[in-house]
Amino acid sequence: MSTRRISGFKPTGPLQLGNYLGAIRPTVQGQDRPTVVFVADLHALTVPHDPERLRELTRQVAGLLLAAGVDPDRTVLYRQSDLPAHTELHYLLECAAGYGEVHRMIQFKEKGGGSGTRLSLLTYPVLMAADILLHDITEVPVGRDQRQHVELTRDLALRFNERHGPVLTVPQAVHPQVAARVADLADPAAKMGKTNASTNGVLFLLDPPDVLRRKIMRAVTDAGTEVTYDPERKPGVSNLLDLLATCTAREPSQIATNYQSYGQLKSDVADAVIALLEPIQRRYYELTDADIEQSLVQGAEAAAVRADATVLRVKEAMGLAKKPVTSGRPAPADIRATPPTAPGPR
Ligand code: AMP
């Protein structure tokens, strides 16, 4: 079978430069192979969330993926919640997963356990396995931190196939050669992240040029004045050199020799980041809601063909129905899209 890849983007905050350099750009550059890209809105429900903000962020993430070069005519791009097959396979795989193996997952250990913890925070690694297995994916490009989830996916697929025959494609994790890890400009020890507590050191893809420049000019640098590439002893300056190197496809240690001051380096990083993001921002603001929606719907329709077939294979192997049932009858009058006017007690 040919290589098939998948990438998901969780709409829990506005996308930032680390997302672009570490995940979006490699995905865009790899579109010569069959690729599936989805906005993982179901995964955004594992922690407290605001429905309106989730909807807006989902639209924004989808728009930025398109603006950054995800080509909906070559790549299947869709919104996870548009495909019921995700939640259906999630449940079916829960019946192949053990409590112990899911409970051991790092995210739950780090964030779960309190009284307000949603059950979905425990079970989402199984949803992630469903995301991957639905599409017969062979390769999952992930950072080292996500390796555990791909291992679980493999374990579930292998176990399922052992019990029920060769139903699921077993994927493998692949790691980018040089893993771009963009650090927070205000705290070089931390990863730049869309949900970091302070946004001072986070370069959002939709930050206007003056905001990008201000954040970069205020980046934390290190003791001394010499510009050298030394991630251990000079993490702040090295992060800036890494950024400039990734934006301009050069070597950070070689770039360092061109600079006598932090100020000039920062100014050039600002120019490079602004030039990198300018066409993406321009294309993003040209997209209408209708353009984005149309791409997502077209993507969901394309994705459903393979995803529905996988679910049917799994159901049949597990002893469930072989065919989906569609009634074809009009909905009864008492089934309406609008809720009753006086909601009862919760
Ligand atoms: P997240 O925003 O954590 O949902 O991550 C989405 C994708 O972006 C994943 O593939 C991450 O590895 C990647 N990513 C997020 N932040 C960074 C960063 N600071 N540097 C490099 N890659 C990142």
Tell me the per-residue pLDDT of 102-144, one tens digit each, with 9 for 90 and over: 998 888 888 887 888 999 999 999 999 999 999 999 999 887 7
Do 103 and 190 lie in a common domain? no
Task: Tell me: do 12 and 125 sit in the same domain.
Answer: yes
> Where is 187: in which H helix or E strand?
strand 187-191
Ligand 1 centroid, distance to 343 Cα (angstroms): 41
Asked if the model's pLDDT at residue 328 lies above 60, the reply is yes
Average pLDDT (68-95) is 97
Is the residue at 192 inside a domain?
yes
Q: Can you tell me the mean pLDDT for 64-79?
A: 97
Asked if residue 140 and residue 15 are part of one domain, the reply reads yes
Judge whether 321 and 315 are in contact, CB under 8 Å.
Answer: yes
Distance 331 CA to ligand 1 centre (A): 44
Within 32-146, where are the H helices? 51-67, 85-94, 99-103, 106-111, 119-134
Name the domain count of the chain: 2
Predicted local confidence at residue 346, as pLDDT = 46
Q: Are residues 41 and 164 in the same domain?
A: yes
Together in a domain, 197 and 63: no
Same domain, 144 and 224: no
Q: Are residues 164 and 215 in the same domain?
A: no
Which pLDDT value is given to residue 151? 95
CATH of the domain at 218: 1.10.240.10
Domain membership of residue 332 (yes or no) is no
Residue 322 within a domain = no
pLDDT value at position 176? Answer: 66
Predicted confidence (pLDDT) at residue 179 exceeds the cutoff of 80: no
Residue 258: CB atoms within 10 A of its CB come to 12
The DSSP symbol for 60 reads H
Nearest CA to ligand 1 atom 13: 19
* Averaged pLDDT of the chain: 91
Do 40 and 85 touch, CB atoms closer than 8 A? no
- CA 22 – ligand 1 centroid, Å: 6
| Cβ-based burial of 312 (10 A; exposed 0-12, middle 13-18, buried ≥19) | middle
What whole-number distance in Å separates Cα of residue 266 and Cα of residue 221?
Answer: 10
Asked whether the CA dihedral 94, 96, 98, 104 is positive or negative, the reply is: negative
pLDDT surpasses 70 at 344: no
Give pLDDT, residue 249. Answer: 82
Provide the residue range defining the domain that includes 91: 5-175+289-317
Indicate whether 214 and 234 sit together in one domain: yes
CA of 335 to the centre of ligand 1 (A): 42
Atom of ligand 1 nearest to the CA of 10: 4
Q: In whole angstroms, give the CA distance from residue 332 to residue 269.
A: 62
Whether residues 208 and 302 share a domain: the answer is: no
Q: Is the pLDDT of residue 343 over 80?
A: no
Q: What is the pLDDT of residue 255?
A: 94
Number of residues written out for the chain: 346
Looking at residues 87-101, what average pLDDT do you find?
96
Residues 6+ apart with CB under 8 A from 148: 105, 106, 125
| 144 and 18 share one domain | yes
Please say if the pLDDT value at position 101 is more than 70: yes
Q: How confident is the model over 269-302, as pLDDT tens digits? A: 999 999 999 999 999 999 999 999 999 999 999 9
Using one digit for the tens of pLDDT, what is the confidence trace for 8-42? 999 999 999 999 998 899 899 999 999 999 999 99
What are the strands, taking DSSP E only, across 205-250?
none
* Residue 338: inside a domain: no
Mean pLDDT in residue range 226-248: 92
d(CA 240, CA 275): 16
> Does any domain span residue 256?
yes
Same domain, 154 and 216: no
pTM across the whole model: 0.92
Candidates 158, 253, 192; CA nearest to 21 is 192
Pocket of ligand 1 (CB under 6 A): 9-10, 18-19, 22-23, 143, 180-182, 191-194
Say if CB 112 and CB 76 are below 8 A apart. no
Whether residue 44 is contained in a domain is answered as yes
- Asked if residue 178 has pLDDT above 60, the reply is no
- Confidence at 304, pLDDT banded by 50, 70, 90: very high
63: CATH: 3.40.50.620
How high is the pLDDT of residue 144?
72
Mutate to test the pocket of ligand 1, among 19, 42, 194 (most ligand atoms within 8 A of CB): 19
Active site residues: 111, 191, 194
What is the DSSP code (8-state) at residue 43? G
Q: Note whether 49 and 155 are same-domain residues.
A: yes
CB atoms within 10 A of CB 71: 13
Q: Is residue 324, in this structure, part of any structural domain at all? A: no
- Whether residue 293 lies inside any domain: the answer is yes
Percent of the chain clearing pLDDT 70 (strictly above): 92
